[in-house]
Amino acid sequence: MTSGKVLFLARKVQKSLEKYLSGYVGGVRHAVAIIRGEGAYRLLKYEGGIHRVQRVPKTEKAGRIHTSTVSVAVMPQPSEIDVQISEKDLKIETKRASGAGGQHVNTTDSAVRIVHIPTGIAVESQKERSQHRNKDECMKKLRVQLYQVQLDENMAHYTSNRKLQVGTRARSEKIRTYNYPQDRVTDHRIGVSVHNLQSVLNGSEDLHALICQLLEEGWKERLWDIINNPQISQ
């Protein structure tokens, strides 16, 4: 895939912020975004992992560089046929929603929590006024997490030695460093550094070129897997 094609697809995807929690001293503590559109998962699947930021905070009087990290997970949104869930494996609880929403929120059991008994995975939703809609939202979240578990199990036997791991869940190793003092972004998996850090964060052609190189490396590793494990392609 060429950098131009990556840029074209990136401009076509739709982005929506589903959840955002601010940190105690600024920044982001937790966020969830949904990306829709042609090639969205293909473009972003290698973004899962630990992203490291090196900078000199405004409050740092001695000019020392501080390092912080953010853990990113990239998961495909499966359709209903991808994951089969039995009702007998579910524990469904309802409760009154908390937070914004006025009197209605405080007087109806619209919030829903679902536990998948075999795996212990729990999801909840209270963003909708309707209990039925919150249940549907919970089921969507549960399918995503169960799909992730299945995907991890299916891929674990032949991806353990890869440099590039599809980002279905955050990994412990850092994948990329954003160095503000040096105005540099380094992807540690492919050993590539680019400058103009802010431009990369803004989604410029520099970022798309980096994604293009990751996709190319991914294709090489996939081909190597097929050569050494013919059953993968079946």
Give the integer Cα–Cα distance in Å for 152 and 71: 17
- Residues in Cβ contact with 214 at an 8 Å cutoff, skipping those fewer than 6 apart: 46, 164, 187, 189, 190
Q: Which CATH number fits domain 87-155: 1.20.58.1610, 3.40.50.12240, 3.30.230.10, 3.30.160.20?
A: 3.30.160.20
Q: Where in the chain is the domain with CATH 3.30.70.1660?
A: 3-74+166-229
The 10s digit of each residue's pLDDT in 184-210 is 999 999 999 999 999 888 888 888 889
Residue 2: pLDDT band by 50, 70, 90 thresholds? very low
* 3-74+166-229: in CATH 3.30.70.1660: yes
Q: C-alpha distances in angstroms, 55 versus 64, 66, 181?
A: 8, 5, 6
The 10s digit of each residue's pLDDT in 56-107 is 988 888 889 999 898 888 877 765 456 788 999 999 999 887 765 444 455 5
Quick one: CA torsion of 201, 206, 207, 212, rounded to 10 degrees? 180
Contact 75, 147 (CB under 8 A): yes
SS (H, E, C) 70-107: EEECCCCCCCCCCCCCCHHHEEEEEECCCCCCHHHHHH
- Alpha helices, DSSP H only, in 31-189? 40-44, 102-107, 131-159
